[in-house]
């Protein structure tokens, strides 16, 4: 009986390849299979599809109860197995790399419509990481969709010819060349779309091939494609089409030319699925969902972070999110080097008027960066593993005249260095640079072996001889070309190097480009990606301000992805819950035009904790906060219901103080202006609303957390505790009057006023215990911080605080609300207010030569 049932189930699976699930069930009934057996078949099918939703696969938001018709590859597939074969030949391991790619691409295909449905227009978004293999993922999605009957594949490949050519080449290698009889091409390596005379030769019933079209997001090109599809309309009724929008936040959103043309192309296709791919989805998530636009109304998928990927958080660290123990959040690798602010005007014109005749200066930091690049290239030759190419990126401006001005000084530096290889002083400086960098980032930490300078120096003549200085921009003819043997190049460029295009073997980056938005900043990070064989060697030179911006951006990314993951467990959809994007005082989330439909989102302090990690270091500012803290402690001593002194722990707890003592303190204490989440007025307003509307937060506990071994800090004559050590994040050229300590409050401190043993509680456990034990009581914690705060020797990424006065840090812990909650505005999101859900059922954009 089991074999018979298995045969019936296989019949059902075969039917699914040709028909939607509902039609497949009807076909089983026509075969005379009983309703009971059909029900068992459906149950098994549902159980198999559950695998796609397991935690190890990418999480997604799905509109409604969409049928998951695709459960993975089958034995007779041709396109996907061909990709697997190529990846194995390139050295991809079956576990975990190919398995992860299989799982994630299956998840995306399962969210598309069945190709046999009569009509559909799907809109989805896939969120990856910069330089993380998104192209390989969407190529795999295309292969699996082709194996199941999708016919037309349109790939929108950025706005530059370089990326379009690179994408065309990759797709031809991985899809077409493996099964040439199965594919027809509307575009070529050096040929963007040109209208073909006979649409029937591509889409007629007699042509069973899949059709590939890789085009730039360019108005002229897209207009030709749209008009040609309109003329081919007679043949497109049964042509399921997949449109993949690579770099979906670029040019697609809020553009007067490109956006309508993409929508026109979709309107020509009765069966179309649009899937945007991007690592910076901020603009896409802020499209007006109620408009006839490209908001991802059907699904959003989070791709998993690939093993060994260098991303924002890995390089720059990030700040703790709500529910995380700050002590468990890493500071990032010690690979960021500081460019002094005084150097910026030497490598980038200060105004437009300064562009003509600008001549860059090879500053000390730029020279060190270039020399280190040559050392890295030599070390990699000694190792003889990994990517054969070695590239350095210099990105200071978008202006092509500025790029060109770097050629002469860089070539002079290269030639002079080559002549100096016999000079003892020059070699001594290179040795010092190499050994200093090798000490700061031990090769052993990355499973590599340190390269001795004596071996490395033997490779330097060949490295300098083969090193080219390349200007790669929209007007240059001398572009990066990795197809004709190993490349050693210092690439100076702008926008052509800041989107999509892969810089092979990128080892060193020098970056001072001023930007104003999250997506622009993130996409310029060409240093993200994989560094097989040289994971210990990459370095990035940038200003300290830019490094802080990237650290904030890493926090935004992590929080955004956590939002998407939470949707899975809360049965939300893109039309019922909008992704929240944390704001920054100096950066826009995306371009203003792309945010015009966004709204300020509500984010409650309920169940969260707030802590200070930015501080001014001047005495006047710090003395003001010391005065506010001493006033608070005096009021606590006078008004607390009960005071607990734990001198052996360096702690005091004041229980049951009135809320107005807390709000009075917030009116006196000054938070750093770069901390938007630490807004005293918003916090005060939140407390007062909770008191007035919910009857909670009327009473607070206040605590002082000191170091029992530290030198004393006196709040009042009767309250003295030892000072804490909180070192600042180390930067080569610290900004005046600014310190970032990153972590102030430990998980243990958030439980300081709870009873019993809390040492083993998780962050979530602490908040749950607070809900039970202190459901209406807030917690305020003061931290006296030693003004010097020298770090321990093991903290390589930390430096002494060196403030002019002792510092007062503040942490606030808010209980979860019992019923509703007043909200605090600190995020933006798409505006869902106009969405009706039924219960059932840029100048280059018009230039073809970009």
Domain shared by 700 and 639, yes or no: yes
Token pair 């008191």 in the structure block, residue: 691
Average pLDDT over residues 335-351: 91
Distance CA 153, CA 273 (A): 10
Q: With helix as H, strand as E and coil as C, how does 95-155 read? A: HHHHHHHHHHHHHHHHCCCCCCCCCEEEEEEEECCCCCCHHHHHHHHHHHHHHCCCCEEEE
Flag whether pLDDT at 566 surpasses 70: no
**Cβ–Cβ under 8 Å, residues 332 and 314:** yes
The pLDDT of residue 496 is 60
Same domain, 276 and 407: no
Do 96 and 15 lie in a common domain?
A: no
Structure tokens that stand for 211 in this block? 């059709």
Residue 41 shares a structural domain with residue 63: no
Structural domain that includes position 425? 340-542
- The answer to whether residue 90 is domain-embedded is yes
| 512-to-342, 394, 497 alpha-carbon distances in Å | 12, 9, 14
Q: What is the pLDDT of residue 149?
A: 94
Residue 555 is assigned to a structural domain of this protein: no
3-state secondary structure (DSSP) of residue 721:
strand
Same domain, 251 and 354: no
Q: What is the DSSP letter of 724?
A: B
Say which range, 7-11, 109-113, 421-425, has the weakest mean pLDDT. 7-11
Confidence at 10, pLDDT banded by 50, 70, 90: confident
Q: Which residues pair with residue 506 across a beta bridge?
A: 391
The DSSP line for 566-610 is HHHHHT--TTT-PPPEE--SS-BSS-GGGGTTEEEEEE--TT-EE
Least confident of 249-258, 328-337, 473-482, 726-735: 473-482
Q: Give the pLDDT confidence of 632-659 residue by residue, as tens digits.
A: 999 999 999 999 999 889 999 999 999 9
Which pLDDT belongs to residue 65? Answer: 43
Per-residue confidence band for 172, with pLDDT thresholds at 50, 70 and 90: very high
Q: What is the pLDDT of residue 676?
A: 66
CA distance 516 to 452: 42
Long-range contacts from 343-346, C-beta under 8 angstroms, 24+ separation: 343/512, 344/512, 344/543
CA distances from 38 to 31, 35, 69, 110 (A): 11, 5, 16, 22
To 10 degrees, what angle do helices 258-267 and 219-231 make? 20
Are 293 and 359 found together in one domain? Answer: no
- 232 and 279, same structural domain? yes
The reply to whether 845 falls in a domain is no
Helix (H) / strand (E) element for 844: namely: none
- 33 in any annotated domain: yes
Lowest pLDDT segment from 31-40, 532-541, 553-562: 31-40
Contact indicator for 603, 827 with CB cutoff of 8 Å = yes
Per-residue pLDDT band for 846 (boundaries 50, 70, 90) equals low
For residue 371, give the nearest of 508, 488, 491, 513 by alpha carbon: 508
Contact 780, 812 (CB under 8 A): yes
Q: Where a domain ends, among 542, 567, 596?
A: 542
Predicted TM-score (pTM) of this structure:
0.72
Question: What are the CB-based long-range contacts (under 8 Å, 24+) for 29-34?
Answer: 33/8
Tell me whether residue 475 is in a domain.
Answer: yes
Tell me: cis bond preceding 96? Omega within 30 of 0 counts. Answer: yes
- 226 within domain boundaries: yes
Q: What is the mean pLDDT of residues 119-139?
A: 91
| Range of weakest confidence among 57-61, 331-335, 481-485, 694-698 | 57-61
Confidence band for 465, pLDDT divided at 50, 70 and 90: very high
- pLDDT over 70 at 613, yes or no: yes
Tokens of 707: 């170091």
Does residue 54 register a pLDDT over 70? no
* pLDDT band, very low/low/confident/very high, at 537 (cuts 50, 70, 90): very high
Residue 603 has pLDDT above 80, yes or no: no
Alpha helix segments (H runs only) across 640-675: 659-668
Residue of 458, 468, 358 whose CA lies nearest to 410? 468
Mean pLDDT value of segment 558-571: 74
CA pair distance 494, 473, nearest whole angstrom: 6
Domain assignment present for 724: yes
- Determine the Cα–Cα distance for residues 214 and 183; give it in Å rounded to an integer: 13
My answer on whether 73 and 47 are in the same domain is no
**Are residues 274 and 143 both part of a single domain?**
yes
Residues 358 and 440 in one domain: yes
Rounded distance, CA 102 to CA 117, Å? 25
Is the four-CA dihedral 730, 731, 732, 738 of positive or negative sign?
Answer: negative
Q: What is the 3-state secondary structure (H, E, C) of 244-312?
A: EEECCCCCCCCCCCHHHHHHHHHHCCCEEEEEEEECCCCCHHHCCCCCCCCCCCCEEEECCCCCCEECH
728 contacts: CB under 8 Å, gap ≥ 6? 734, 739, 740, 741, 789, 798, 799, 800, 801, 802
The CA–CA distances, whole Å, from 705 to 534, 653, 722 equal: 43, 9, 9
Task: Name every residue whose Cβ is closer than 8 Å to that of residue 365 and which is 6 or more positions away in sequence.
Answer: 337, 338, 339, 340, 343, 510, 541
pLDDT greater than 50 at residue 791: yes
Structural contact between residues 108 and 141, judged by C-beta atoms closer than 8 angstroms: yes
Among 67-76, 127-136, 316-325, 528-537, where is mean pLDDT lowest? 316-325
pLDDT value at position 702?
Answer: 97
| Average pLDDT, integer, range 473-488 | 75
d(CA 750, CA 763) in angstroms, rounded, equals 8
Which pair of structure tokens corresponds to residue 146?
Answer: 């082709």
Strand partners, 462: none
Bridge partners, residue 701, by sequence = 779
Three-class SS of residue 732?
A: coil
Q: Within a domain: residue 160? A: yes
Cβ 380 vs Cβ 533: under 8 Å: yes
Backbone angles phi, psi at 200, to 5 degrees: -60, -30
CATH number, residue 163: 3.40.50.300
Residue ending a domain, among 505, 520, 542, is 542
Q: What angle do CA 379, 384, 386 make, to 5 degrees?
A: 100
- Dihedral sign (CA 251, 255, 261, 264): positive
Candidates 789, 781, 822, 818; CA nearest to 805 is 789
DSSP 414-429: HHHHHHGGG-HHHHHH
Domain identity same for 371 and 479: yes
For residue 397, name the pLDDT band (cuts at 50, 70, 90): confident
Phi/psi of residue 394, nearest 5 degrees: -120, 120
Q: Which of 186, 215, 82 is nearest to 143 (CA)?
A: 82
Distance CA 605, CA 582 (A): 14
Query: What's the mean pLDDT in 688-711?
Result: 91
Question: Is there a single domain that holds both residue 238 and residue 107?
Answer: yes
Q: Print burial letters for 352-379: b (CB count within 10 Å at least 16), e (below 16).
A: eeebeebebebbebbebbbbbbbbbbbb
The H or E element that residue 66 is part of is none
Q: How many structural domains compose the chain?
A: 4
Q: Tell me the average pLDDT across 239-256.
A: 92
Whether the pLDDT of residue 6 is over 90: the answer is no
Q: Taking CA 498 as the corner, what is the angle to CA 246 and CA 220, rounded to the nearest 5 degrees?
A: 55
Query: What average pLDDT does the chain have?
Result: 86
| Residue 640 C-beta-side C-alpha neighbours within 13 Å | 17
Least confident of 38-47, 84-93, 607-616, 698-707: 38-47
């Amino acid at each position: 009986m089991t074999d018979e049932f298995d045969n019936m189930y296989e019949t059902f699976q075969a039917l699914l390849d040709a028909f939607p699930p509902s039609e497949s069930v009807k076909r089983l009934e026509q075969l005379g299979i009983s309703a009971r057996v059909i029900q068992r078949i459906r149950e098994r099918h549902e159980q198999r599809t559950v695998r796609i939703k397991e935690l190890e696969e990418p999480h997604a938001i799905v509109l409604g109860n969409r049928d998951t018709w695709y459960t993975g590859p089958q034995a007779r597939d041709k396109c996907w197995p061909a990709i697997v074969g190529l990846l194995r030949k390139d050295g991809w391991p079956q576990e975990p790399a190919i398995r992860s790619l299989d799982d994630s691409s299956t998840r995306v295909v399962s969210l598309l419509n069945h190709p046999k449905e009569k009509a559909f227009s799907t809109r989805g978004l896939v969120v990856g990481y910069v330089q993380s293999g998104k192209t390989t993922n969407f190529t795999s999605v295309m292969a699996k969709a082709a194996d199941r009957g999708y016919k037309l594949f349109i790939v929108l490949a950025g706005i530059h010819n370089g990326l379009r050519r690179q994408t065309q080449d990759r797709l031809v290698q991985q899809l077409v060349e493996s099964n040439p009889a199965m594919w027809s091409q509307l575009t070529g390596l050096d040929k963007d779309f040109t209208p073909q005379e006979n649409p029937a030769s591509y889409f007629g019933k007699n042509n069973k091939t899949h059709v590939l079209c890789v085009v730039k997001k360019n108005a002229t090109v897209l207009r030709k494609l749209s008009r040609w599809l309109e003329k081919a309309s007679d043949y497109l009724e049964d042509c399921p089409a997949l449109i993949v929008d690579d770099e979906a936040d670029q040019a697609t959103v809020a553009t007067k030319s490109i956006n309508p043309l993409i929508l026109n192309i979709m309107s020509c296709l009765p069966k179309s699925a649009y899937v945007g791919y991007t690592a910076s989805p901020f603009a896409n998530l802020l499209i007006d969902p109620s408009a006839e636009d490209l908001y991802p109304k059907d699904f959003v998928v989070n791709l998993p972070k690939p093993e060994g990927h260098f991303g924002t958080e890995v390089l720059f660290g990030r700040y703790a999110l709500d529910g995380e123990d700050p002590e468990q959040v890493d500071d990032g690798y010690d690979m960021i080097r500081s460019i002094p602010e005084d150097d910026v005007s030497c490598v980038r014109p200060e105004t437009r008027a300064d562009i003509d005749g600008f001549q860059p200066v090879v500053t000390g930091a730029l020279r060190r960066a270039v020399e280190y690049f040559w050392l890295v290239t030599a070390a990699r030759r000694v190792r003889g593993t990994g990517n054969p190419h070695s590239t350095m990126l210099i990105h200071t401006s978008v202006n092509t005249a500025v790029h060109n001005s770097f050629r002469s000084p860089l070539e002079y530096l290269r030639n002079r260095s080559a002549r100096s290889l016999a000079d003892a002083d020059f070699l001594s400086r290179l040795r010092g640079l190499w050994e200093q960098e090798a000490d700061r980032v031990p090769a052993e930490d990355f499973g590599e072996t340190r390269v001795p300078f004596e071996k490395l120096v033997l490779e330097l003549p060949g490295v300098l001889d083969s090193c080219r200085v390349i200007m790669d921009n929209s007007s240059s003819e001398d572009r990066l070309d990795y197809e004709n043997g190993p490349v050693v190049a210092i690439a100076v460029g702008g926008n052509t190097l800041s989107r999509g295009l892969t810089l092979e073997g990128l080892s060193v980056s020098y970056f001072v480009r001023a930007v104003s938005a999250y997506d622009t900043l993130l996409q310029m990070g060409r240093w993200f990606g994989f560094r097989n064989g040289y994971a210990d060697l990459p370095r990035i030179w940038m200003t300290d301000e830019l490094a802080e911006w990237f650290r904030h951006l890493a926090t935004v990314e992590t929080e955004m992805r956590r939002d998407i993951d939470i949707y899975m467990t809360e049965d939300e959809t893109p039309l019922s819950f909008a992704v929240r994007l944390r704001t920054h005082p100096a950066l826009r989330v995306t371009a203003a035009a792309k945010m015009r439909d966004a709204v300020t989102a509500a984010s409650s302090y309920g169940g969260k904790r707030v802590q200070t990690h930015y501080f001014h270091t001047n005495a006047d500012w710090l003395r003001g906060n010391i005065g506010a803290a001493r006033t608070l402690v005096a009021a606590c001593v006078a008004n607390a219901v009960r005071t607990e002194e734990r001198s052996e722990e360096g702690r005091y707890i004041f229980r049951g103080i009135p809320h107005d003592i807390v709000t009075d303190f917030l009116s006196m204490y000054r938070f750093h202006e770069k901390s938007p989440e630490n807004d005293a007025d918003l916090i005060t307003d939140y407390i007062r609303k909770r008191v007035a509307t919910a009857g909670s937060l009327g009473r607070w506990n206040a605590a002082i957390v000191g170091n029992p071994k530290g030198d004393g800090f006196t709040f009042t004559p009767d309250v003295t505790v030892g000072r804490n050590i909180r070192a600042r994040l180390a930067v080569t050229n610290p900004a005046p009057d600014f310190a970032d300590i990153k972590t102030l409050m430990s998980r243990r401190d958030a439980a300081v006023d709870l009873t019993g043993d809390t040492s083993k509680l998780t962050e979530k456990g602490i908040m749950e215990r607070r809900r039970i034990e202190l459901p209406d009581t807030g917690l305020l914690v003061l931290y006296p911080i030693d003004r010097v705060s020298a770090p321990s020797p093991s903290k390589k990424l930390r430096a002494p605080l060196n403030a002019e006065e002792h510092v007062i840090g503040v942490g606030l812990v808010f209980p979860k609300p019992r019923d509703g909650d007043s909200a605090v505005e600190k995020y933006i999101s798409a505006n869902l207010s106009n969405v009706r859900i039924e219960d059932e059922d840029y100048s280059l954009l018009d230039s073809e030569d970009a």
